[in-house]
Structure 1
């Protein structure tokens, strides 16, 4: 989306990176945006409000009780007319206040009142950025639908070298333009995502499972919801919170997941099966704890129903995407699975590789489709990988319609 004509509220908090917000204001204004700057008291210690007024050609807000137009309540007026809200720089203190629902000055008060998309560009010391409290607060805001523009790694004003430097103004603007373009490209689409492991019961205290954390599937569900889709997430047991705007259905076993998926499959437009479903389950289970005995224990296993194969056989209008977590010959196995299970596309990754696979916050994916596409996505956050996968799915769906 072109930023020209858009009303942008720029929140500036008290860090040395506030000087970059001056260049950001100037470049946004040059793009044709109507920029309204709100500064915290500490931000004004680094840069004069007059500087932002000259660059934005708008009044600068620093005090909740300084009503510049008697006919309007300033923080409500700004909150209502903003097309997007950008916090740059966002200090650890500001992030913590937002996560805690604190509204004790002009910026946080306006933030609580706005329904516009909020983009947060953090800037702080590398150790502050890694502090558990800061991580928890960012996770909370992420779960509420706030969008983060990750800081750079580099030399910081405090003398440390590491992650925490505010992203450059040009990059922030590029991200805003790119994310605005894709913001609602799944509007009207119904998307089903499966995620996490399954558990196959042995007795009341034991079960067979795998190492899947569900992070990739949850990232896909979150990304699809942010892009306007109506998302159903069918999840095995995980420690993850449901993404904002997503309908989550909790299941335990492979059979539970099969039945849950089939109950909503016919009405879906896109189905992404990223769950790591058990291939086998015990033939017999016990309703009492099995006691330790002398010698070895043999448990007979039987095949579970292949959910992805079943969906491929029943596919009508759905765009069906599978996942293949492999340890060797990943592409070859992925291509075989793509054809054998009648998929439209498959995402292949090598588990056990650094920065990829189960438990990791990052992933590395190769996207294969039935037309022969082979698109590799190098290691990145699972959130970014999720958006890249959705981009490919949309491109393939558009090609099918031509």
Structure 2
């Protein structure tokens, strides 16, 4: 049966090739868009793990928190420590694009994220001036080494929002690749960040560290009840929030790719309908010689499935090459070609081929031998 299917497809090389190419383009889109979604999911999972059991305390209804809230949070039973982070964009003109933006985290040197290991240089120390520890992605993007300077920008207080002010910080440390948001973060002393951005005694977010054995979910609720004007995200809530946002992102990107693949699948239906129409005499002779409807159905659907399988493999291969090129040119991975994604893409291609080949196959089985030979 397989030999017959391959021979039938080979007899119409141009049409078969164009059909496979259409499926390949659709699966290529699925692989690239799905790879972006897979990478974002991996970044979120690793980032949540890296932040351990810390509770994020955010302002309720305002953009920033006063540092006095840190002292109030530290007095809540079950809180081991609390510290503030001032978060800003490395370049305020950085808009749009895909992926994680480049961020500045102003934070106390003693509270920097040392779970991310250094590849060179040192961590921040108390008393550091305008020094910074940068993530792997930042170092790659700006071609930084220890001792180099990075230009941070901020919007000026003038009337024109296009006017920016800048400040150089000296790179004293570069982190290893973590596959988390910290690959795209510049860490600098909190007091210097507050001074440069004109936000003295202000922080964007406060991290509350629970005491050993304290349930972070319960502690998050106690902080909300004890400290006015804040809202909290426990580790579980934070992960759920990230996942919900990613679900929407994944739905949009993958839906666009699936639509492209379905359009490619319609070419399978068109090809198979034309093939059935052209092979009327062949089907008539097969039925006259005693071929069962099941055999004709399997042969016709097999042709569609094989085109889907071939297009799927070519699409995965093309997507894999593009993903590798884009990841290497960017310096840090933006796409992840996982075994799960490969399997889903290949199954989708085959199922798409079979589905779009079902109606033409059904038409082929409905032909009566006499009618097929008479029409020919």
Shared fold by TM > 0.5? Answer: no
Q: Which has the higher strand share?
A: 1
TM-score by length of 1: 0.21
TM-score by length of 2: 0.22
Report 1 or 2 for greater relative contact order, CA contacts < 8 Å, sequence distance ≥ 6: 2
Whichever of the two has the greater Rg, that structure is 2
Q: Which has the higher helix share?
A: 2
